Structure 1
Amino acid sequence: MQIGSDVHNYMETLVGQVLAAEEFVDRFTNEQLSDIACLALNRVRPVYIRYDIDFLSALPEERLVVLKQHVDKAVEAAMAMIIDDRRKNREDNDITVIYNNPRHNEDAELEWYEQPLTRLKK
């Protein structure tokens, strides 16, 4: 068994169908389309299946419509994030770096919650 060929997320198919539309292909670069796909897929519940034809034959049409609506909303939200991308007018030197504990003491004793649960046998 191989995940990706034997088992796959049907929502990827639906997101791919939406993003293959001319309005998306003409408007966004491949990098942006990949970002939109990732963001959209993270917003929808995965539906793992083996065979599309078996899944679609057993799926009520009303449920397919609902799945497509969820995908449309997720793609719309993802597209808004890409259009308003905070990364695009950012210079490399204006990234803030915050150090929580700049001085880490390697010899400090571990806290009780950091102690290993099992002891190694000698």
Structure 2
Amino acid sequence: MQISVDVHNYMETLVGAILASDEYTSKYDNEQLADLACLALNQLRPVYIRHDIDFLSRLAEERLLVFRQQTEVAIEAAESLIKDDRRAVREDEDISEYSLDMTEEENDNRELEWFEKPILTKK
């Protein structure tokens, strides 16, 4: 079994179908579409399946509509992040990164980036 061949996330199919529409392909380049897909998929609960046809034949229409609505909302939220892309104006931004020139203690004490901050904290 190869997981990338035999199993896939159905939400990727829904996100891909929406992002392939002229509404998005006319506004965004491939890099931005990839960013949109990543940002949207990170907001959605994955639905792993083996075969689309088997999955869809057993899926209630109401549930499919819920999946589509969730996908549209996630893409709209992702689009707002792309429109206000912080990467476009980096001159006034302090970039914090791991440095081999720093001691281990200095690296450990540096401020975490927004994507590094843990969701759950230990008590």
Partner residue in 1 for 2:27: 27
TM-score (norm 1): 0.77
Cα distance in 2 for residues equivalent to 1:2 and 1:79? 33
Cα distance in 2 for residues equivalent to 1:84 and 1:35? 13
Partner residue in 2 for 1:3: 3
Q: Deviations over 1:81-105 (max 9, x none)?
A: 01101110213x742448894399x
Cα distance in 2 for residues equivalent to 1:102 and 1:45? 37
Distance change >3 Å, CA 79–CA 94, structure 1 → 2:
closer
The yes-or-no answer on 1:102 pairing with 2:113 is no
Amino acid in the other structure paired with 2:42: N
Q: Deviations over 1:33-63 (max 9, x none)?
A: 0000001000000000000000000000000
Offset of residue 67 of structure 1:
0.2
Cα distance in 2 for residues equivalent to 1:96 and 1:8? 35
Partner residue in 2 for 1:58: 58
1:79-94 pair list within 5 angstroms? 79-91=79-91, 94=93
Displacement over 2 Å in runs of 4+: 93-104
Identity of aligned residues (%): 56
Give ranges in structure 2 of 5+ residues lacking alignment. 109-123
Offset of residue 3 of structure 1:
1.5
